[in-house]
Amino acid sequence: MFLFRRMTWSVRSSLNDSSFSPSTSNSTNGRTRIIRVIQEFQTKLGSKIQEVKKNLPLKLFFFLVGFYCATAFATVIGQTGDWDILSAALAVAVVEGIGALMYRASLPLVRKSRSLISLFNYWKAGLTLGLFLDSFKY
């Protein structure tokens, strides 16, 4: 036999019901929930923009140097053709090594040099983008 359960749906109203939104208090200062969410989003977005603006010229420089290195790397290695596999393996090892240092912050040495690793992450992004765009030349 089949067991049938009766499902009931409860409809809650946010008007005079504190159990509907536990994170808010009763004093909302006349602001609706959507206004509070928008203001919180603006605050978080502003802090992220300030974080990106910090050391922006240096980050842009490392990105462009990575892009230049990709162009030089593809041009010099492409001259001989003998070293293609070894150079591709070296490029992958460098990119993965920087990524591993960037996203693993458990080592004490990594925590101390976090800003330098972050700059090399921008170099890695430039290198990767440069190699990707350079692949369309051939």
Instruction: Determine the pLDDT at residue 97.
Output: 87
What is the structure's pLDDT at 84?
74
pLDDT of residue 119: 87
Q: Residue 98 has what pLDDT?
A: 86
Q: Map out the domains of the chain as residue ranges.
A: 10-53, 55-134
Q: pLDDT grade, residue 106 (50/70/90)? A: low
Res. 62 pLDDT band, cuts 50 70 90: very high
C-alpha distances out from residue 22 to 12, 33, 35, 38, 42, Å? 13, 12, 17, 18, 22
Alpha-carbon distance 20 to 69, whole Å?
A: 56
Q: Is the pLDDT of residue 10 over 90?
A: no
Q: How many CA atoms lie within 13 A of 138 on its CB side?
A: 9
**pLDDT value of residue 9:** 56
Which is more confident, 9 or 123?
A: 123
Interval 17-42: pLDDT, tens? 544 545 545 556 778 899 999 999 99
> pLDDT tens for residues 79-89?
777 777 777 78
- Contact residues for 66 (Cβ-Cβ < 8 A; gap 6+): 122, 123, 124, 125, 126, 127, 128, 129, 130
